[in-house]
Structure 1
Amino acid sequence: MSAKLHNPSTAPSIAVLAKRTEDLWIQKINWVVEKVAEYKSQGKRVLIYVKDGIMSNLLNQMILGHGFDSNDMASMNSSSQRVTAVSEFNDPAHATDALITTFTIGKEYRFYGACHRGLIFDYPTIMSDYVFAARCLNSTGQTEDVQWFNCYIHGTMDMMHDLVLTRSALPRIIWDADLYPGVTGELRRICAFYSAAVALGQSSSRYPRMRVHWSNMESLEIKREGLFYSAVAKFLAENSDCASKFTSETMSKIARSWKPEKGLTMDHVNCKLPEHEDGVVLYNYVVGGYKKGML
């Protein structure tokens, strides 16, 4: 098994994704309307987060146009209007289907009481905004689990927004001495990518996406690499004293002996296991090719 190479001569421009933006919004809006309908059929309401007021207004008009009851906080002119909208949304006795807010406006309110479903229409640019939104439906003594869904459309600019959001979280995680004690250097960065993935509900670390062209980010090979790096971070969270075992000389061998979705064991890390037929091959599609010292 050998790593697949990046071919710059066939790599498409990022402009290809930009041209698909309108189609992306249409897909996302249709997805949200379907989710609102699904939740209404279950007798549930949903809180929807968007990045800006223009999209908030457009999305609200589309939901209303499909016959559902919806409110758009970004279009409200006063804080009293917003307080009333939130109060009604939080009241189980008040009939409604959806409430839409931006990440900025949402920071000022609490949305718990009647709603246990949330949708992230598009990602914010910083992780703290995402985390705040994902926690805003939680309350002490709640009797129903909260469920959040990210509207991530494969093969679109969402993969770039996802990476921007992930990278925004890295400095705080890396600088937090309580996280991954004893793990330093590039391994610590690998662990930070894993923590960011967990916050976003992802099983596959975005770490290997940093070194490939956007057209390869969602490939099976890169997903498998991401699963391996997640397994490495999980292992180090419990065995930080073994950090020195992960080197540029051993990392690839460890990966090839490991099968995705399985736990990484001390035998893997000590390179005592043979190459697995379904093992993970690292360094696929690396822009500029493999460089000595890569983990």
Structure 2
Amino acid sequence: MMLASGINSREVATSWPNPECHRIVNVFNTDTIDTIDVLITTFAALRIRGGPNFHPGACHRGIMLETPDTLEQHFETRKVLLRGNGPFAWKVQYVPGSLDSWRDLVMAKRAVEQDQNSYPELNGFVHQQRMVLFYDVAYLMGKDESQYPRDRVHWSKLEVEEIKREGLFYFALGKFLHENRAAASKLSDRHTMSRIAKS
């Protein structure tokens, strides 16, 4: 598809011999005449010991077409590509109507569950604590939308407009609670939450 669009692309797969993978990456690293526009790889190939080693400045844009299983894998992958100097643009691509949104939610939930002991001052305020934790995950991933409301709906509803708006709302609430944890008790009744949502 990329070749048909005039984009010179190569790929690196974990099943290939290591010398061949390194040869392709080295061509990409030292390419001055745009022999390779795009290098396609996988999470597995980027994470293995002795995997692709990108030179500083060789790669300026990353497009993630698959959601990793954990937030740690997400950042490990980004680190490999961010070794370069200069500006770097990162885009996470989702296919509407697919399970991409669900996989993204699963990754966020795993991160939240691993971090449940954070913010001990919010113990007893379960929903508020989860709002902050989901905010943290969204912030770390460079998003402005929380996955918190998606945790309560069927996967087929993850992309509806109402849930997207709620994601923006809970991102803002999570940020507020992150900065003002003592306010958690004020957000514990439905009337207050409803009033905030309407404002």
C-alpha deviations, 1:102-138, integer Å up to 9, x for none?
A: 1011013332431111111121222211122223222
1:80 corresponds to: 19
How many equivalent pairs are there? 191
1:211 corresponds to: 152
User: Normalized against structure 2, the TM-score is what?
Assistant: 0.83
1:162 and 1:149 mapped to 2: Cα distance? 14
Equivalent position amino acid for 2:72 in 1: S
Larger Rg computed on CA atoms: 1
1:228 and 1:150 mapped to 2: Cα distance? 21
5+ long unaligned stretches in structure 1: 1-61, 258-295
5+ long unaligned stretches in structure 2: none
1:123 corresponds to: 67
User: Does the CA contact (< 8 Å) of 2:128 and 2:177 recur in 1?
Assistant: no
1:94 and 1:83 mapped to 2: Cα distance? 19
1:100 corresponds to: 40
- Poorly superposed stretches of 4+, deviation over 3 Å: 64-68
2:91 corresponds to: 149
1:270 corresponds to: none
C-alpha deviations, 1:36-61, integer Å up to 9, x for none?
A: xxxxxxxxxxxxxxxxxxxxxxxxxx
1:132 corresponds to: 76
Between 1 and 2, higher relative CO (CA 8 Å, sep ≥ 6) is seen in 1
Equivalent position amino acid for 1:252 in 2: S
Equivalent position amino acid for 1:90 in 2: N
C-alpha deviations, 1:52-79, integer Å up to 9, x for none?
A: xxxxxxxxxx334544332221166321
C-alpha deviations, 1:203-229, integer Å up to 9, x for none?
A: 121111111223332222212211111
Query: Which one of the candidate residues 162, 167, 176 is aligned to 2:104?
Result: 162
Overall identity of the aligned pairs, in %: 38
1:225 and 1:254 mapped to 2: Cα distance? 12
2:52 corresponds to: 109
Deviation of residue 92 (structure 1)?
4.4
Going from structure 1 to structure 2, the CA distance change for 1:88 and 1:113 (only over 3 Å counts) comes to: farther
1:172 corresponds to 2:119:
no
Going from structure 1 to structure 2, the CA distance change for 1:174 and 1:89 (only over 3 Å counts) comes to: farther
Q: Residue 90 of structure 2 aligns to a residue in which SS?
A: strand
1:202 corresponds to 2:143:
yes
User: Does the CA contact (< 8 Å) of 1:131 and 1:199 recur in 2?
Assistant: no
1:226 corresponds to: 167
2:133 corresponds to: 192
Deviation of residue 99 (structure 1)?
1.0
2:24 and 2:33 mapped to 1: Cα distance? 10
1:165 and 1:231 mapped to 2: Cα distance? 21
2:15 and 2:5 mapped to 1: Cα distance? 21
User: Normalized against structure 1, the TM-score is what?
Assistant: 0.58
1:219 and 1:76 mapped to 2: Cα distance? 39
Cα RMSD after superposing both structures:
2.3
Equivalent position amino acid for 2:45 in 1: I
C-alpha deviations, 1:155-189, integer Å up to 9, x for none?
A: 222222221222222123333x4xx4622322111
Equivalent position amino acid for 2:173 in 1: V
